[in-house]
Structure 1
Amino acid sequence: MIKYTFLIALLFSMLLPAQKDTLKSEAFKNSRPKKVSYFQAKYPSYSLLAGYILVNEANRGDPFAQHELGIRYLIGKGFEPDTVKAIYWIRKAADQNLAAAKYNYGILLYNGIGVPWNPFESFYNFKSAAELGMPEAQFALGIMYTDNLVVSRDYSKAYAYIRKAAKAEYEPAKELEEEFRSKGLAPAVDSSIAAEQQKTVEPAPVINTDWDVDYISLENDARVTDEERISNLLKKNKYELRDYLGINAPADSLKDTTAYGMIKYAAENGSPEALLLIAASYEQGLWHKKDLIQAGINYLNAYRFGSYKAGERLFRLIQSESLLESLKNKIKAGDSHAYYFMAGIRALEMTNIITLKDAVDYLNKAAGKNYVPALIELGLLYSTGAVAQKDINKALAFWKTAQKLGSVEAEIRIAFTTLVDSALTTYENNSFEILKKYSDEGSVLAQTYLAYCYEKGISVKEDKATAVKLYRMAARRGNETAYNALKRMYDELRPPDDTFLIYSER
């Protein structure tokens, strides 16, 4: 099943917890390679004498000693941890063209570990190490040619580099090469890359890393039915399912660890993946009694959280004359679900059978009955000034009502609004911790807001690398807002170099 885009997340797991792009993007899920050892010590003893010899050799200019000394300072093996000294020695070795040092320095740059986040300089380091024959670097470079962020997407080059790494028996590359082939993304190998020098390097120390090559499809595989898709999900173990739904919260925070219980929990916390599954269930009558209006509401909510697949399904669903007729009848009967659904599809311009004024009236009627989704939408209207005059206090009042009725989304929106609007004092709370909590519990909205806080240094020290990581996690789940923020961050740093020119696919 064709899914989202390759997104390289080079995470230094010793220091950081292991954590698409356009609608046309593709990438591969569950291609998480095994960890590689962080170094093969030239000086296996940790005695004072060994430390003295290592420092002496590094000072004499031995790149292998410089690199090993940098690694030891980084992870505190034989020396007190010192990131500044670690970076100094790893870079010294990289400047001498040691493949492993260039690769490791690329990882540090990509993740902003001890150095400012710079994926472009990281690219050059990976490229140098790849040309020296290092399969890990070839693999990294291949992925960079798929995400359309550092360099323009080029599947031919991506496959060529991944294939070279696979030929060197690098297991993650072998797995990824097979997925390229199975998805029909294995073009002819670029002759310029195939002809590159195939220099073999001896095994060299590398930082212990986790690779996160993951993706979400915004397109349906027509060969797989909803029933089969849901059945396949139910066969996953609880850890795989948690990962799919974006849940990073501790297992003991889940009261119901059945597959449906986890999906329901994630949906309540704003997981577009979970909302999409529930919508499909209502549409097909799988877990729930068939109900096209409930299906539509869940597709609508999944779309609001960035699932373009949900938007496509919603548009297809409302082509049904019987659904629209049922919707009109329920509106006449004063049904809040119907009010909200009709207002939603009108706001998205998927129907013009009512005016925007009617849509706002419907939301007000539903909100008058304490219908939570309508309260949230009215809050959004006032917070953006899209229809009504902008009024943050009115927006917060609507969201506060929804929060009292148990809405997680409302709580998240209140938290973020109070963080970014310094003029607000009425709703002071532990807003940053709220965003962290719900980001871990599967809310793509909280994840994106949290990324923005790290990017701009709101209630936390500015950390571009962490912001990128969080935006990437949300974008991987199909959130267009997060992808656009991610692209903006790359563009703000992009060097004036034709190498990094991105060709638009939109």
Structure 2
Amino acid sequence: MSLLSRLFTRRSPEKRLQYGLQLIEAEDFAGGFAEISAAAQTGMPEAQFRLARLYLDGIGIPRDLVEGGRWLRRAAEAEWIEAQFVLATLYLVGLPEAVESDSFNLTDVAQNVTGQPNFHRAAHWSKLAADAENPDAQALYGYVLNAGPEDLRNPEESLVWYERAAKGGSPQGYLGLGLAGLHSARSDAELAKAIEHLKIAADANVGSALYLMGIAYERGAGAPHDPVAATECYGKAAAHNVRSAQARYGLALLEGRGIEKDISKGETWLRKAALAGDTEACALLGDIHARGVDLSPNYLEAANWYRRAADGGHAASARALGMLYLTGAGVTRDEDEATKWFRYASEKGDAASSADLGNLLLMGGGTAEDRLATKALYEKAAHSGDLIAAFNFGVCLAEGVGTERDEEQAAHWMRKAADGIINAQYWYGRMLIDGRGVPANPEEGREWIRKAAVEGMVDAEHHYAQLLVAGEGGPADHAEAFIMFERAAKQGNANSMFALGAMLGGGHDVPEDRQLAFGWFRQAAERGHVGAQLMMGRYLTRGLAGEPDMEEGLVWYRKAEAAGLAQASADMAQLKFPLREAKPEEDSSVEKPAASTDEVRPADSHPAVG
């Protein structure tokens, strides 16, 4: 044996460890690993701990969680305090069971963290290090006592350990005190104290504390309202891989809130959060691509992000995904898929999805099983006192969705829902007027429809105006009817636009004004109202509101004719053989339409409510 070899083998474990660390520092990782490993094999706790870190970090050897955990355990069992603390931390992340055994197995190398925390083992090792006055271990043990299972949980004792950790200078101890203070704060002073503790942890660059301080600055809770400071905190926390902070920082960049607007950078941070499993970030990315922020909408990309968010339980994203399937935007149009996602969102408590689901099924979408399941969903919720569900269940009974038609029971549930649901007031009012499921009572029916109209329901405004024009269920009141028609028309109701044109055209108890009438007829005609298209033809060809315009008048006549209105054909035939040129005020052949004339019954196309 050479002199060099003899000198090498006589080196003490302590010197081998120090030499190994020097080699690592000099980036001779393989040599450093060999020296530290040799020292660890002698049973030296510090060397065992250092070797564990090499395995865990993949320095000088491929990363090996199990072998790293085993060396940590050996060092911890030898009372190396830092090893006890790190081992406890890893048990909260989820160490494989193989760490507890020294027997070698080829499958051990491929194992990774389980994601299932072992609070009992974490408690054991963190308590040993905490008793040895390690401040970070004291904070960790406090966390275990606060967040662990019932047989370990002791919030009062956890506070004691947080306080000891904070006094020992552990930022994690201050984080624990701050979190506990946020949950227990009953006054502004207590809230301010909790924020003070969090700020100490945030100043020490603790990611979770930075995120919470961002929340405090954003909301002005326990700290001044400061969007700039909030965004700065989110940015620092995002760099620490706090995914909620990444999402908020990304949103701040997108909106230019507390920082210069940067769409590209904002989306990058949102993607990081989303890919880490943040469902809100996934949902935001879906919205961004669906709306097309600074770019054209990308519905395929939107669908992908909405699906991720929906898979994570995000109800609004499930509804948005259902809408994409319903319209065929970014995905193949598929009513069954739309039904599936609407139901999923509805079961998660999204009321708008309940309406979407009901509407889709009432229009014939979905399967018989879908209709049956939806009816059962509404029925169960209705019996529990949910008024929205009571209305939707009433619709199912009235229309035979997933069940036999039962108008009497439909009226029963509509009456229950009418105490709080505007749509139900309208439906129940119509049932009373028509005598569907209940004895006809036009007076009471008109009152229910009036209530819904006063609350701003467009279809109810239109229908109530019709009742006022006809004097059904009470006295006629054309002036009030005009107001109601106008309210509905301003919200885009084409039938009400037509009705206003009819009232202003003459023959009603409101001042005649054919110029205004022409304007309302045009708005209704442009929205596809066939009767209004006929009236546009008449007004333009006969000059009823100004100079005649035969060319445009014929365009509107032909639109009405193409829609199947025979009267348009008759009117055009008369234009070919005029007996005389009548002046507008003498034209007695103009038929004045009733204000209540509609091509379709209102409200039937959207019966469900959310």
TM-score band, normalised by shorter chain? 0.3 to 0.5
Q: Work out which of the two has the higher radius of gyration on C-alpha atoms and give 1 or 2.
A: 2
More helix by share: 2
